[in-house]
Chains A and B, each alone.
Chain A
């Protein structure tokens, strides 16, 4: 998690997002300030209340006069910066990122329990993914239905690690982690044991509520029935911060 700056270091900075003047605390990120000002930047792995991961790259932004693209979730604001959130170049990259997510695993929306309530599906629509231009990998992934209440479907996982972070940082159990590199990366429970055999899992279900897709769901849900509630997470996070202080 990005450590909050000590109060003496915090200043107010003013800068521009899409030619609009905004002001913010110097310890805020571009994504936070954009949200406070109602400026939409698509994102997937960022969740308020969890540490910043910067993995999905959907919140990429451009800085005027800088050819590099920066992730808005992990870039602190600076005095005078000119942020662009919706250029042709960014739209092109965002669409490609979503297409690659669809091509990497087997997201068949029509038969998914999260159909109609899925962040990936919504992002595809928002980013104009009317079809996927690269060939699908169609690699075989397993479903772990060993847990009494929940199910893990690797076919629909986008490796945002929101489950990993929620379990570690909010529940404090650290049942989830990732294993393998690159295309072989997968989320695991305990030391890659079936979820149902996990000794550390408390069964709290925060990972399920956090998951943006149909990768982590409740048993007994049919197509389109898996509704998730994420509202509790920022609240729990704030309560914990208050405890630490």
Chain B
């Protein structure tokens, strides 16, 4: 980290439910402490539209399910010095990954033909193309830290961020596990 007192953080959600970001907000009043030490420079929670050139810590929620997820994961890896997989979808595919048991065509057909009453059609305008297989983030880029949980409890997210602020590498395995 360039400055252990003030680190820059970028977050994004790929194929997830946003629950990990909600759990992050659940650190409650500790957000004030965090705001004094951390700049969130890119996130669904702030306005920035472009990922800055260099970011200290990148946090990805959700699995890699579409071409846009893949692009974003690769972009985060390029721009972030330290990349965190946050939550079970990012770490192991979790619920989005359950579609891997079926061919993509069958999944789309089930959702957009079998279960609609009017104008069955597979959306292809303005939405990213789905990848044939859902992958965890570490399936497409290198990841520096894995934080399990569905979602990871707020205390675990706080532990991870506060350790990073103090220049230490956190060990979330003592506090969380798959499915927690």
Q: Measuring CB to CB, which residues of chain A are less than 8 angstroms from any residue of chain B?
A: 102, 106-112, 115-116, 121-122, 124-125, 128, 130-133, 135-136, 138-140
A115 near B179 with CB under 8 A, answer yes
Question: CB within 8 Å of A: which of B82-101?
Answer: 85, 88, 91-95, 97-98, 100-101
Distance of A60 Cα from B101 Cα, bound (Å): 33
Q: Beyond A110-B179, A128-B173, is A140–B146 a contact (Cβ under 8 Å)?
A: no
Q: Beyond A109-B88, A132-B92, is A138–B97 a contact (Cβ under 8 Å)?
A: yes
Identify which of A110, A131, A133, A136 contacts B100 (C-beta below 8 A): A136
CB-CB < 8 A to A121: which residues of B? 177-179
B1 interfacial contact with A, CB 8 Å:
no
What is the total of A-B residue contacts with beta carbons within 8 Å?
62
Identify which of A111, A112, A130 contacts B91 (C-beta below 8 A): A130
Distance of A124 Cα from B94 Cα, bound (Å): 15
Identify which of A107, A108, A131, A133 contacts B85 (C-beta below 8 A): A131
B93 near A124 with CB under 8 A, answer no
Distance of A220 Cα from B162 Cα, bound (Å): 41
Interface of A is mostly: loop
A138 near B100 with CB under 8 A, answer yes
CB-nearest residue of chain B relative to A110?
B150
Residue contacts A-B, CB under 8 angstroms, 11 given: A102-B92, A106-B101, A108-B92, A110-B95, A112-B179, A121-B179, A124-B178, A125-B173, A132-B136, A136-B92, A136-B93
B173 near A130 with CB under 8 A, answer yes
CB-nearest residue of chain A relative to B90?
A131
CB-CB < 8 A to B88: which residues of A? 109-110
CB-CB < 8 A to B146: which residues of A? 130-131
Q: Beyond A110-B95, A131-B138, A132-B92, is A138–B101 a contact (Cβ under 8 Å)?
A: yes
Identify which of B95, B100, B133, B148 contacts A130 (C-beta below 8 A): B148
CB-nearest residue of chain B relative to A224?
B179
CB-CB < 8 A to B172: which residues of A? 130
Most buried by B among A107, A130, A132, A136: A130
CB-CB < 8 A to B52: which residues of A? none
Distance of A133 Cα from B157 Cα, bound (Å): 23
Q: Beyond A108-B98, A110-B94, A131-B146, is A116–B85 a contact (Cβ under 8 Å)?
A: no
B150 near A131 with CB under 8 A, answer no
Question: CB within 8 Å of A: which of B64-106?
Answer: 85, 88, 91-95, 97-98, 100-101
Distance of A100 Cα from B159 Cα, bound (Å): 29
Distance of A128 Cα from B85 Cα, bound (Å): 16
B177 near A124 with CB under 8 A, answer yes
